[in-house]
Amino acid sequence: MSFAAYRSVLSRPRARQVLLLGLLLRIPIFGTGVLLMLHVVNQLGRSWGEAGLVSAVATIAIAVSGPWRGRLLDKHGLRKVVAPSLVITGSAWAVAPFVGYWPLLVLAGVAGLFVVPIFSVARQGIIAAVPIHERRTALSVDGVAVELAYMSGPAVAVWAGTQWGTAPTLFVVQMLAVLGGGVLWLLDPPLREEGSADDAVALPRASWFRPRFVVLCLAAAASTLVLVGSEVSVVAALQGWGQYALLGLVFAGWGLGSIVGGLTYGALSRGFSPFLLLAGLAVVTMPMALAGSAYTFAALAFVAGLLCAPTITASVEAVSRVVPTAARGEAMGWHGSCMTAGSAAAAPVAGFVIDHGGYQPAILVVSVAGLAVALAGGASALFARRRRLALAA
């Protein structure tokens, strides 16, 4: 294990550029969800259910946009995809914070459909900016950037919203996102490696959308099912114990563990199968069901967090290897949408189990589901490898 690889990655100007832009553009995305719900409840005087509907519409729209916008990136390049995003999302969010509930619902959906595809752009840009032997390290740095954005976005947005009101905060956050998107458009980082063999080839989806890719997307969905499902369970437990104020401590432990795990994984001389890491994530999450206080949760969350970023990094790296460069944008879009779908499914699944059995079985249910997907995916990968070897012989 050597951390010198990080020095090499960060010495590359294009890699630094994409990593920084990726961090800055993700903060508004993570911050907007909770801020939007607070705006609906506090500013518009609606219920939490109605607030959840707005958040769900925006989330579904972003998930739908992933593969579609990714395919456009493959076909037309960054500038032709980002430019309409800036115009449409900028116009939508310039109005949305100052209108009623139903117009807000529509505008949030439209903005979600045309959001700057930063997850796909950042990962493609990072892959293109470094040689293949540094890919895992670079993607690990990006995973840490995602974790930092996930931790800071909601906290900053909620603080600003309580200080200056949710409407002006929503407006400012989204205008900063448009500004960041404008910088991305101006810099136009390459999304493909120089001299890529399939650089100008339009590939039919059937040529790469195959079982190997599908199981990787399922593993990505299962990873967020485990993560978000256990998060929801922790929130329910702390609320029941009257320790809700310590939720930040637990999430800090989780985030710190993920950062440590991500940086360690990127420094390793070799990577691991995403299915093996997903199985490990599911197994180390299970003991959280034994927690009896927020402090125990924080310690166990740190341990579980150690495999969060590595699991996601390994799945992104695997997708980049099994999908041709010319289709990577759409593939990353599908991968991101599956992660979003896993997150979206986690809340109702965990919520149903919590209502009928409590937080402990909820953690076990999402963990077992993740473990089942990992075992099935690992078995399918092993079968496919043996089949290729048999055909080669």
Residue-wise pLDDT for 27-62, tens only, equals 888 888 778 888 998 899 988 778 878 888 888 898
190 — phi, psi (to 5°)? Answer: -60, 140
- CA distances in angstroms from 327 to 73, 175, 254, listed in the order given: 9, 31, 34
Work out the number of other CB atoms within 10 angstroms of the CB of residue 91.
15
Instruction: Give the pLDDT of residue 260.
Output: 94
| DSSP for residue 98 | G
Distance in angstroms (rounded) separating the CA atoms of residues 78 and 209? 22
Residue segments in the chain with a per-residue pLDDT below the cut of 70: 1-2, 194-202, 392-393
Domains and CATH numbers, the chain: 1-193 (1.20.1250.20), 207-393 (1.20.1250.20)
Rounded to two decimals, the pTM is 0.84
Which string of b and e fits 319-352 if b means at least 16 CB within 10 Å?
A: bbeebebbbbbbbbbbbbbbbbbbbbbbbebbee
Burial profile 171-202: b = 16 or more Cβ within 10 angstroms, e = fewer: bbbbeebbebbeebbeeebebbbeebeeeeee
- Over residues 284-294, the pLDDT tens digits come to 999 999 998 99
Report yes or no: 204 and 28 within 8 Å, Cβ to Cβ.
no
User: Tokens 């496919």 map to which residue?
Assistant: 384
Q: Give the span between the Cα atoms of 304 and 265, in whole angstroms.
A: 14
Residue 196: predicted pLDDT: 58
Give the pLDDT score at 49.
Answer: 77
Q: What is the torsion angle, in degrees rounded to the nearest 10, for the CA atoms of residue 288, residue 245, residue 41 and residue 91?
A: -80
Q: What pLDDT score was predicted for residue 312? A: 92
